[in-house]
């Protein structure tokens, strides 16, 4: 069985109590904190920046996974690294120089990854597999929490799983958007190993009950 990781997205957390929220979700079994950065330019929404990442950093020991939905990307990368990010991903169409942006993330001591919207072609992967620690597939169009999982993503997950396996590299395959207890197993079956979930966890009263149920579903995957 692969190592499965559950990455709650703070987008659905109570921002007035963010430190407590991330502590609670890690105590409930979260492996990673997913940190959605939106700029009201690349996506039609505005969230949080390095200051908030720095503010939650002392509250948790687990990796902070910064998902940049911003354009351009390079200027903000070192700021997030200094703010305590461990993983930084960006959308390839938001960077003029993908190879440079990936290298910049690694030069700043973080794991680097590309994010693909449901309609973004995978050809961006072709010449950068050796610079990737993670590939993030969006299963909704980015910008908002609480949207429904787009089923076609399962085929894309399987295609990327094949590319990763063929590369022989240790690259995480993360899926983001509309992940719930009732579809996490299908995403895992298709080849994902890391699961972002915002509204499914922070939207519910008992974080541990949701995370435990997700793990039970994952345990059933052959
Ligand atoms: C969407 C964000 C997701 C989102 C997931 O643009 O990247 O991380 O918060 O939220 P749910 O799990 O509610 O779809
Ligand atoms: Zn995200």
**Which of 6, 11, 64, 115 for mutating ligand 1's site (highest number of atoms within 8 Å of CB)?**
11
Give the per-residue pLDDT at 2: 87
**Residue 146 CB–ligand 1 contact under 6 Å:** yes
* Structural domain containing residue 175: 5-219
pLDDT in tens, 32-85: 999 999 999 999 999 999 999 999 999 999 999 999 999 999 999 999 999 999
CA angle 171/53/68 to nearest 5° reads 50
What is the pTM for the complete model shown? 0.98
Q: In the chain, pLDDT over 90 holds for what percent of residues?
A: 98
CA of 97 relative to ligand 1 center, distance in Å: 26
Ligand 2 geometric centre to CA of 163 (Å): 22
CA-to-CA dists, residue 31 to 9, 73, 204, 205, angstroms: 11, 26, 18, 19
The answer to the question of whether 95 is labelled as a binding residue is no
Averaged pLDDT of the chain: 98
Query: How large is the average pLDDT for residues 15-42?
Result: 98
**Per-residue pLDDT tens digits for 149-198:** 999 999 999 999 999 999 999 999 999 999 999 999 999 999 999 999 99
Ligand 1 atom at minimal distance to the Cα of residue 147 = 14
Q: Give the per-residue pLDDT at 1.
A: 78
**Dihedral over alpha carbons 38, 71, 131, 79 (to 10 degrees):** -70
Beta-carbon contacts of 216 under 8 Å, excluding residues fewer than 6 positions away, are: none
Query: Using one digit for the tens of pLDDT, what is the confidence trace for 80-117?
Result: 999 999 999 999 999 999 999 999 999 999 999 999 99
Closest atom of ligand 1 to 197 CA is 12
Active site residue 170: no
Supply the CATH number for residue 67's domain: 3.20.20.70
Q: Residue 47 CA: which ligand is closest?
A: 1
User: Domain total for the chain?
Assistant: 1
């Amino acid at each position: 069985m692969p190592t499965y990781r559950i990455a709650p997205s703070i987008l659905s957390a109570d921002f007035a109590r963010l430190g407590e929220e991330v502590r609670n979700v890690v105590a409930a079994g979260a492996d990673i904190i997913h940190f959605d950065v939106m700029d009201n330019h690349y996506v039609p929404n505005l969230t949080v920046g390095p200051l908030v990442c720095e503010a939650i950093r002392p509250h948790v020991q687990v990796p902070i996974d910064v998902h940049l939905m911003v354009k351009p990307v390079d200027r903000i990368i070192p700021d997030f690294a200094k703010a305590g990010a461990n993983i930084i991903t960006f959308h390839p169409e938001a960077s003029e120089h993908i190879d440079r942006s990936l290298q910049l993330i690694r030069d700043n001591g973080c794991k680097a990854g590309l994010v693909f919207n449901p309609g973004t072609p995978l050809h961006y992967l072709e010449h950068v597999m050796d610079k990737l620690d993670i590939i993030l597939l969006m299963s909704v169009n980015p910008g908002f929490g609480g949207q429904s999982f787009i089923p076609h993503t399962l085929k894309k997950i399987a295609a990327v799983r094949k590319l990763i396996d063929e590369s022989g590299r240790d690259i995480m395959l993360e899926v983001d958007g509309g992940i719930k207890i009732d579809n996490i197993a299908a995403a895992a079956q298709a080849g994902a190993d890391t699961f972002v979930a915002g509204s499914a966890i922070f939207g519910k009263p008992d974080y541990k009950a949701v995370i435990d149920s997700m793990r039970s579903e994952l345990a059933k995957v052959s």
